[in-house]
Amino acid sequence: MKLDSYWLDTAPPFIAACEGPVDGHADVVVIGAGFTGLSAAQALGKRGASVTVVDAGRVGGGASGRNGGQVNTGVAQDFVALVAQLGIERASACYRAYADAVDTVERLIVEENIDCDYVASGKLKLAAKPHHFAHLEKTAELIRRAVDPHVELIDGERIRAEVQSDSFYGGLLQRHGGQMHMGRFVVGLADAAVRRGARIFEHAPVTSIVKDGAAHRVVTARGEVRAKQVFIATGPSRHGPFGWYRRRLAPVGSFIVVTEPLSPALLAQMLPNRRAYTTTRLMHNYFRVTPDARLLFGGRARFTASERPSDAKSGRILQQGLATMFPLLAAARIDYCWGGLVDMSADRLPHAGQHDGIYFSMGYSGHGTQMSTHMGQVMADVMDGRTDRNPWDESEWSAIPGHTGKPWFLPLVGTYYRIKDLFY
């Protein structure tokens, strides 16, 4: 069992990274070479801006290369709860923003000819308890009435035609969305940014950002570059001068295992429609079939950061959950196990805009694949003066109470969620 991301291990190499020191001038310095930063670099390059991208690690080495591989509409929160929190108009705008984000991913794949095994199969949210399905009925009715008439409710009598498991009592199908190979997509997006003129520096952690007249000096371990604008797209970075952002994000670990390749007949029996799946539990699971016929199975497992060798412990928990949900896979070999950090905001909504003259977008809260890619394009417009393009611009972003940057409270949250799952 490799303690590595399947997406990164099976992706083509990114060979266009810049050698030598970080230096010179740029119109924009982008900090972070994940979906957000690379999408912004591609969009800025298209309009003729000079762009330098710096990352503390490799292209896609953070959340962009360590997630569940789903590209779906629908906000991170339950839509009924979001309406209660924000009102129907604002909640519907959030939902539409995620639908737009799926469209952005699909457009970029075609526009830049990215080979990433994209399949538009939709997402099926699975009710783990009978009363969860009753809540999904209310959710479906509200979504249909407010924003998306195409969602479909699948009752308990039909659910086994979708998922061959005794664990579920129905589901909510959202057809707009799909899945892809995340490693291939992120490398394809990086290659597209380079074709548009961007310089990308890997293994160049930022140590400081210094105001320099009307511009900024971005200092890295490999040198420094001066830019008119700076865009922070780091997610839950635990390194560098990003304390203001760290106090507003809880970096929650999410963990994934991937099985050995499975027989086509077995997969056709278990998951005939090969959708992206997620469950309704607070300590939920998500799963899908990979392009080479493996089952990817993920979830919170434990409320802790992702660090070797503790990822293996989370992997064993997930393996047990997989065997419970799909007894036919109890003996399946696990080939990959890894973890990643989810940049969870307190309201579980993205946040984007400006702070101290520096642009940022982050806080995707576990639904970042499509939204991060979309927000890279959006923030390119914002930096070009089109502030109206930002769907999250009006949201206030207060620090998480008691949070100074190190998430000491995560074990307590995990215990709370486990107890609540017993009764919810």
Query: Residue 90 maps to which CATH number?
Result: 3.50.50.60
Share of the chain above pLDDT 70, in %: 93
Q: Would you mind telling me the total number of residues written for the chain in this entry?
A: 424
283, pLDDT greater than 80: no
> Which of the listed ranges 109-123, 270-284, 383-397 does the model predict with the highest average pLDDT?
109-123
Q: Is residue 421 part of a domain?
A: no
Residue 236: cis peptide before it, omega within 30 degrees of 0: no
The number of helices, as runs of H, and strands, as runs of E, in the chain is 11, 18
Mean pLDDT in residue range 57-75: 93
pLDDT the model gives residue 75: 78
What is each CA distance from 242 to 232, 236, 351, 355, 392, in whole angstroms?
9, 9, 15, 11, 20
Q: Regarding beta strands 223-232 and 295-299, do their DSSP bridges make them parallel or antiparallel, or are they unpaired?
A: unpaired
Classify residue 13 by its DSSP letter.
Answer: P
CB within 8 Å of 332: residues ≥ 6 apart: 259, 260, 262, 295, 322
Mean pLDDT in residue range 44-59: 97
Domain count, the chain: 1
Residue 49 and residue 228 in contact, taking contact as beta carbons nearer than 8 Å: no
Q: What are the phi and psi torsion angles at 382 (to 5°)? A: -60, -45
b (16+ CB within 10 A) / e for 210-233: eeeeebbbbbbebebbbbebbbbb
Q: Is residue 418 part of a domain?
A: no
Mean pLDDT in residue range 250-273: 94
- Nearest partner of 76 among 318, 274, 343, judged by Cα: 343
Q: Is residue 1 part of a domain?
A: no
- Nearest partner of 307 among 93, 127, 66, 91, judged by Cα: 66
CB within 8 Å of 280: residues ≥ 6 apart: 125, 126, 127, 128, 129, 132, 135, 136
CB within 8 Å of 58: residues ≥ 6 apart: 8, 14, 33, 202, 203
What is each CA distance from 399 to 245, 317, 346, in whole angstroms?
8, 32, 9
CA–CA separation, 394 and 398 (whole Å): 13
412, pLDDT greater than 90: no
CA 39 to chain centre: 14
Residue 178 and residue 120 in contact, taking contact as beta carbons nearer than 8 Å: yes
∠ CA 231-236-237, nearest 5°, is 75
- Nearest partner of 126 among 173, 81, 79, 158, judged by Cα: 173
Amino acid residing at 138: K
Mean pLDDT in residue range 54-62: 96
Q: What domain range is 72 assigned to?
A: 6-413
Mean pLDDT in residue range 27-47: 98
Burial (CB < 10 A; 0-12, 13-18, 19+), residue 188, is buried
Q: What is the pLDDT of residues 331-371, one digit of tens each?
A: 999 999 998 888 889 898 999 999 999 999 999 988 899 99
* Mean pLDDT estimate for the chain: 92
Mean pLDDT in residue range 254-266: 96
Classify residue 119 by its DSSP letter.
Answer: B
Amino acid residing at 398: S
Q: Regarding beta strands 285-289 and 295-299, do their DSSP bridges make them parallel or antiparallel, or are they unpaired?
A: antiparallel
In the structure, what pLDDT confidence band is assigned to residue 415 with cuts at 50, 70 and 90? low
Q: What three-state secondary structure class fits 362?
A: strand
Q: Is residue 236 part of a domain?
A: yes
Q: Is residue 294 part of a domain?
A: yes
pLDDT the model gives residue 237: 77
304, pLDDT greater than 70: no
In the structure, what pLDDT confidence band is assigned to residue 185 with cuts at 50, 70 and 90? very high
Q: What three-state secondary structure class fits 255?
A: strand
Residue 105 vs residue 395, higher pLDDT: 105
Q: Which residue has the tokens 């957000």?
A: 36
CA–CA separation, 98 and 252 (whole Å): 21
Torsion angle, alpha carbons of 254, 375, 116, 150, to 10: 90
pLDDT the model gives residue 341: 82
308, pLDDT greater than 70: no
Q: Is residue 420 part of a domain?
A: no
Q: What is the pLDDT of residues 108-139, one digit of tens each?
A: 999 999 999 999 999 999 999 999 999 999 99
Mean pLDDT in residue range 213-242: 93
260, pLDDT greater than 80: yes
Q: What is the pLDDT of residues 134-169, one digit of tens each?
A: 999 999 999 999 999 999 999 999 999 999 999 999
Q: Checking phi first, is residue 218 left (phi over 0); if not, alpha (psi -120 to 50) or beta? A: beta
Q: What is the pLDDT of residues 314-334, one digit of tens each?
A: 889 999 999 999 999 999 999
305, pLDDT greater than 60: no
Q: Is residue 262 part of a domain?
A: yes
pLDDT the model gives residue 236: 67
Where are the strands (E) in 260-308, listed by range?
276-279, 285-289, 295-299
Mean pLDDT in residue range 72-82: 84
Share of the chain above pLDDT 90, in %: 79
Amino acid residing at 129: K
Q: Is residue 423 part of a domain?
A: no
Helix or strand run (H / E) with residue 335: strand 334-344
311, pLDDT greater than 90: no
